[in-house]
Chains A and B, each alone.
Chain A
Amino acid sequence: MKETTKILVAGVGGQGVVFLTNLLVKAALLADIPVATSEIHGLAQRGGSVTAGITLGEHTYGFLEKGGVDILFGLEPLEAQRCASYLNKNSIAVIDENRILPYSVNSGNAAYPDIKMFVDYLKKNINKVIYNVESPEGINSVQRNLYVLGRTCHEVDFPIQSEFIKKAIAEIVIKDPEEKCLAAFMLGLTKEEIIVESK
């Protein structure tokens, strides 16, 4: 692992941005990695955009900057695209094709961006893109986030070892059955026929 890793989690209120952030914090603590976060979630419950920064390593405090993110977790494609300026040529972007249409799109006053075009742009310009278009059956939104996290751990040299993430799931999950959450993570982690978009 390099000295510091900066992760940006982006999504929509209610999607699990805060949950995923807390999970990664827990996993980092278990792995004895210094961790800090910075969140803005005042109006999260009302369906607005939510982002959280997670920084791993000494001398970081959870703060992110444009061009300074190593891993982007976009739990919703439009929100991922909104964070594009935080990426640099070495970044990894994980984009889950789990669209939530904002009102302006619903009402026809704005167009949802062409995500395929954005993914193609990223493929040419950053280190790696994991564009998840699969939704395993019987999975809720929290578990879907874990599935995507599993896929990411499978595909890239994730700074927190999977075993700590598994332990963290066991500790942090409250509402959902723990086994289902673990299973979702493992499904992403071990699935063989995962298609990874790589430069």
Chain B
Amino acid sequence: MENKVADILTSYSSPHKVSAIGNEAVARGAIEAGVNGVFSYPGTPSTEISEIFNLVSNYQNDSNKNPDDVKNATYFEYSINEKIALEKAIAFSIGNKSALCVMKNVGMNVASDPLMSITYQTIIAPLVIVVCDDPGCHSSSNEQDSRYWGNMASVPVFNPATPAAAYEMTKQAFKLSAELRLPVIVRTTTRVSHTRGMLEYNEINADKREAHFDRMPEHINIPARTATAHQKLLDKLHSETVDPFFKNFNKVHFQGKHKSTAIISSGVSTSYLLEVISRNGLEDQLELLDLGLIFPFPEKDVAAFLQKGFEKVLVVEELDPIIENAVRNIVQKQNLTCQITGKEESQLGNTGEFTLGQIDQVVGDFFQVETIGKTGLNGVSAYDDSLPPRPPALCSGCPHRASYYALKLIVPREDNDVILCGDIGCSGLGALPPLKMIDTINHMGMSISMAQGLSEALKSKKTKVVAMLGDGTFFHSGITSLLNAVYTKANMLVIIFDNRTIGMTGHQDHPGATHLDKYNEIQIEPLVKGMGINFVETLMPFDMKDTYKKIDKAMAQEGVSVLISKAPCVFLPDYKEFTKQDDKIIINHAKCNTCHNHYDHGISCSKKASSGSNLTRAIAKIRATERVDSKDQSCPANICNHGFFNSILEKDYKTALDMVRDKLLFSRTCGDICHRPCELFSNHESNATIPIKQLKKFVSGIDENFNDFSSALNQIEQATPKDKHIAIVGGGPAGLSAAYDLIRDGYEVTVFEKEEAAGGLIKYVIPDFRMDKQGFDVEVSQLAKMGVQFKFNVSLGKEMELEEIANQFDGVIIAIGLGKSNELEAVSSISKSKKYDSMNFLKEYNLKTLAIQPGSKIVVIGGGNSAIDVARSAKRFNEDNEVILSCVETESAMPAFTEEVEHAKEEGVTILANSYVEECTEKGDLKIKLHQFDSKKHLQDINCDYIVVAIGQQGNVEEYATIGDKNLTNGNKIKADKYNGFSNYKNVFVAGDICADNHMSLIGAIGSGKRAVIGIKQKLEGYKYSYEGLNALLHLNHKEKEGAIANPIELEGDITEFIKNFNLFQSCEKCNHCIDNLGCPAMIKVDGKIIIDEPKCTQCGLCIDVCPNDAIAWEKELELVNE
């Protein structure tokens, strides 16, 4: 650029040949004409003209570079919009300084108001307007034909075909403007403005104009004068003053005698024609009239040309048939006989750009000659059709992307409750994938008007309308619209992307520009506050948490609110202050697209890869005030709590349920009675835990989802049959969990159960007030539907022997539970009608066969969960019953779950901890002598009706004696390998309460059942992974975390609202979030891996906050962590 300027500035005297694009040629033409002031608003394809004058003006106004002539320096400004630019240019002319006003096609619409009236008045010094049209809409919102402005405003219009013509016409436009005292338009198109050709520069007009203002009646526009002014205007246009310009710029090429055909063209079409005529050697067959000054229409010249007697005339012009209509008019008026081939006949049409090939064909058809039109390759369409498009995108590191991303985290795009009105400029690129955060884009400044109009129209709806526009657009035409919104009490949010420049056209200055002394910097915040807007906040978009908060808050405001998202454009020097230039962003591929929940990635996972669900995870990352590492809340069944939780955040409750069912069948039962080790063992420092159990109850409670087991059935359908048959002895939760995993893995499964139905302790022992029994039956009943075979009323050691089934089946899992209740010596003499053990008490309670008189006094002995269940059941059986529980442990040391103990107490059970039965005698009722356990001192005597002994169970060794004493514990439990549940006997694995290391809980039973399945798989298929939930399973036997119980989180109201403050973090394999939702050009995916394209990375760090897997980090910070 510097070179170009130097070129333009220094070649003052002797003419010389240069190569220049059309816009440079226009600038040079204006300089040679001695232009004093240039006013512009940037816009492609016109921008280079203003950029040259910006440099020229800065150069000339620099007293170091231009010591002699600063006072004659060209004035240049980027005006606030085209209307102001033209108004100021007019004023310059009135002050006797020549002016140039430069804009793109649509800019003329903004500037049309001053144009339409000044023509009725007068200008003083010459004023030239350059308007660059964009046929084909390469970078414009329409392809309007600016030639019409000539007719509309009654001003002359030049229409150059080449850079050389543009140069000459601009120069002459000043001359014509001076002579007519009218503004003159030079209209180019993209293919002239951005075409480079040869031209010759000449001398620069050295005449200096003296500025002055003379009072003249024409300067006052009042209706009394306008009627006569109009006629004067038309007279000017049709005066002889114009004739020499017609002569200069309406040229006939290839003149000759008695030619029968002619072409009339204008603009770039003439260049296409000259090339086509030359290469086809058609010079002798036609005359070509090129119209350079097209308004006022050169009627005399065209009539004279047509009167040469051509038989056929082809008219070629891009966009509207303006010349064609004028030519037809003349033919009719002059009564000529020539045949006109216009747009309709040639099929050149009114839209888009012409191409060389198109013109070649039209000329060939017109002359009925075989042109040397070019032929492409055979079969090329197979290669260039349907290639991936490459639309422009927001730059990497663009602060607009950060703002849009934050907005994306807040505004759901699935519904229409929020309408996002975008605007012209770089910010409009937010409409493209993957951001897609814009619903409307119209013309400059329309976002604010659209938002206030829509919010008024949709007033009764729950709609929020957001206007979003860049600072340049805001200054250009947003300010007045915003004032209108304030004044009319609109309800809308306006987000101004304040990057302190006009980005799209190449970083021109505007009122927000900071880097030039020449301008006053205008801050947007005080400006909009001054309009009377109450909610105005400025945010720094790279601070993602703050940006999120502020947008979230602003969205909730009533009335007009404004957010100013302020960070410099990546191309501005101060952008670097917002980024870490001395650091580097790196991606940890161990966290990116990696699942840490499963070692074995072949394990089924119901989480679908979707950009929506990853967005939810990303939202949690930014929004949550509590971040809990998922491994701190792990489950012995290894449910992916992270995926489960995030599915609920996403309100995808079906997937949440399926994620539970990926691991276990008893989701509703777990929601009822799991002792939630995932919550209690949390190591999270703030003690915050995610209420997984209650969430599980919530998702399992949705009947429609609960009754749909299709996901598991699909897994069975898709499983590869293993051709192995496994026997499971015992149909309780451990055995059934093993059956569920095996059947989904392609095994054949038979369950042997001694009772007449499956369900074990859960069915027969857990009282119905603690759980949904019918729900459990539904869950259990699925197994038969899945193909598990059941044999009921079969007991080990009676109807079948362990050795026998071990030989019959490929593998065996024993999960028979503990068959024998422990007895209390002190009550051995009590009659059976007054004495229960916990198992038969609870079984009778559940089967509703319990026969206890109302108002009975019942003493329960034992401190475990069964004792508590008995005590609560006894109390619930009849509320007049008095229930006392005696246990040897202190209350805090009771093996029962603390919550259960609390429930029992709330329900009126008296707990006598640290006590034991010294003696129990029967005389009608029972008399129990209780002693204190630690001091052995007498505590109290109790008279009661029943005693229930609930001091645990042991295995019934007769059932499995063959396994050998050395494999048994002294409680007759079966020892098993802690990694796979192997019993050390044949192919027999152990699960549930009978297994020596089992935790006596539902989740303990489930986990050990699953572990035994892994043991089977290792043995039968050589499966190489350990049981995925092993750590959490073994951890169950640790003491519960103290204090966690004190404040269990109670879910209230909208469950998803309630949990919004939490982020249960874990990286996920099904993540493609940065690509799906951010789309930074510096992040690319190569062979399935995300990598940073370092030359493109601007070190803004946005991606670090974006990554829901926490896989992106600053290199230096990571080093610090590693040290």
Question: Are A and B part of the same complex?
Answer: yes
Give me the interface of A with B, judged by CB distance under 8 Å. Answer: 12-13, 25, 29, 34-43, 45-49, 58-68, 78-79, 81-89, 101-108, 110-113, 118, 121, 125-126, 174
Asked if A63 contacts B392 (CB within 8 A), the reply is no
Give the distance to chain A from B303, nearest Cβ to Cβ, in Å.
29
Given contacts A36-B195, A60-B275, A66-B357, contact A89 B383 (CB under 8 A): no
Interface assignment of B393: CB less than 8 Å from any CB of chain A = yes
The 8 Å CB contact of A61, one of B197, B393, B504, is: B197
A13, B429: Cα distance in complex, Å: 15
Given contacts A60-B275, A61-B162, A103-B434, contact A66 B376 (CB under 8 A): yes
Question: Inside 8 A of A66's CB, which chain B residues have their CB?
Answer: 355, 357, 374, 376
Asked if B356 contacts A63 (CB within 8 A), the reply is yes
Give the distance to chain A from B1075, nearest Cβ to Cβ, in Å.
5
Asked if A110 contacts B388 (CB within 8 A), the reply is yes
* Stretch from B223-231, B757-765, B1079-1087 at the A interface: B1079-1087
Asked if B275 contacts A61 (CB within 8 A), the reply is yes
Asked if B197 contacts A67 (CB within 8 A), the reply is no
Question: Inside 8 A of B45's CB, which chain A residues have their CB?
Answer: 42
Nearest chain A residue, comparing its CB with the CB of B387: A82
Asked if A102 contacts B390 (CB within 8 A), the reply is yes
Asked if B388 contacts A40 (CB within 8 A), the reply is no
Question: Inside 8 A of B377's CB, which chain A residues have their CB?
Answer: 67, 84-85, 87-89, 125-126
Question: Inside 8 A of A87's CB, which chain B residues have their CB?
Answer: 376-377, 380
Asked if A107 contacts B195 (CB within 8 A), the reply is no
Given contacts A38-B191, A78-B388, contact A63 B272 (CB under 8 A): yes
Nearest chain A residue, comparing its CB with the CB of B372: A68
Sampled A-B contacts (11; CB under 8 Å): A42-B138, A46-B395, A48-B392, A63-B275, A63-B356, A67-B376, A81-B383, A88-B376, A101-B1085, A107-B1079, A108-B1085
A101, B138: Cα distance in complex, Å: 22
Asked if A85 contacts B390 (CB within 8 A), the reply is no
Question: Inside 8 A of A104's CB, which chain B residues have their CB?
Answer: 388-389, 433
Asked if A105 contacts B391 (CB within 8 A), the reply is no
The 8 Å CB contact of A65, one of B139, B195, B356, B1081, is: B356
A113, B389: Cα distance in complex, Å: 12
Given contacts A25-B196, A40-B190, A103-B1079, contact A78 B376 (CB under 8 A): no
Give the distance to chain B from A187, nearest Cβ to Cβ, in Å.
21
A128, B328: Cα distance in complex, Å: 50
Given contacts A62-B196, A125-B378, contact A105 B395 (CB under 8 A): no
Interface assignment of B384: CB less than 8 Å from any CB of chain A = yes
Given contacts A25-B19, A45-B395, contact A84 B384 (CB under 8 A): yes
A125, B45: Cα distance in complex, Å: 37
Give the distance to chain A from B380, nearest Cβ to Cβ, in Å.
5
Question: Inside 8 A of B190's CB, which chain A residues have their CB?
Answer: 40, 42
Q: Which 6 residue pairs across A and B have the least CB separation, nearest first?
A: A42-B139, A46-B392, A67-B374, A65-B357, A67-B376, A110-B388
Nearest chain B residue, comparing its CB with the CB of A12: B390
Interface assignment of B360: CB less than 8 Å from any CB of chain A = yes
Asked if B388 contacts A112 (CB within 8 A), the reply is yes
Give the distance to chain A from B1003, nearest Cβ to Cβ, in Å.
39
Asked if A47 contacts B392 (CB within 8 A), the reply is yes
Nearest chain B residue, comparing its CB with the CB of A55: B275
A48, B356: Cα distance in complex, Å: 24
Asked if B196 contacts A36 (CB within 8 A), the reply is yes
Question: Inside 8 A of B380's CB, which chain A residues have their CB?
Answer: 84-85, 87
Nearest chain A residue, comparing its CB with the CB of B611: A107
Asked if A65 contacts B360 (CB within 8 A), the reply is yes
Nearest chain B residue, comparing its CB with the CB of A141: B1095
Asked if B196 contacts A37 (CB within 8 A), the reply is yes
Cβ proximity bits B357-379 to A, threshold 8 Å, 1 near / 0 not: 10010000000000001111111
User: 8 other contacts beyond A103-B1079, A107-B1072, with CB at 8 A cut-off?
Assistant: A42-B44, A47-B395, A48-B390, A67-B376, A85-B377, A86-B376, A102-B389, A113-B388
Asked if B390 contacts A68 (CB within 8 A), the reply is no
Give the distance to chain A from B424, nearest Cβ to Cβ, in Å.
13
Nearest chain B residue, comparing its CB with the CB of A61: B271
Cβ proximity bits B320-347 to A, threshold 8 Å, 1 near / 0 not: 0000000000000000000000000000
Question: Inside 8 A of B360's CB, which chain A residues have their CB?
Answer: 65
Question: Inside 8 A of A111's CB, which chain B residues have their CB?
Answer: 388
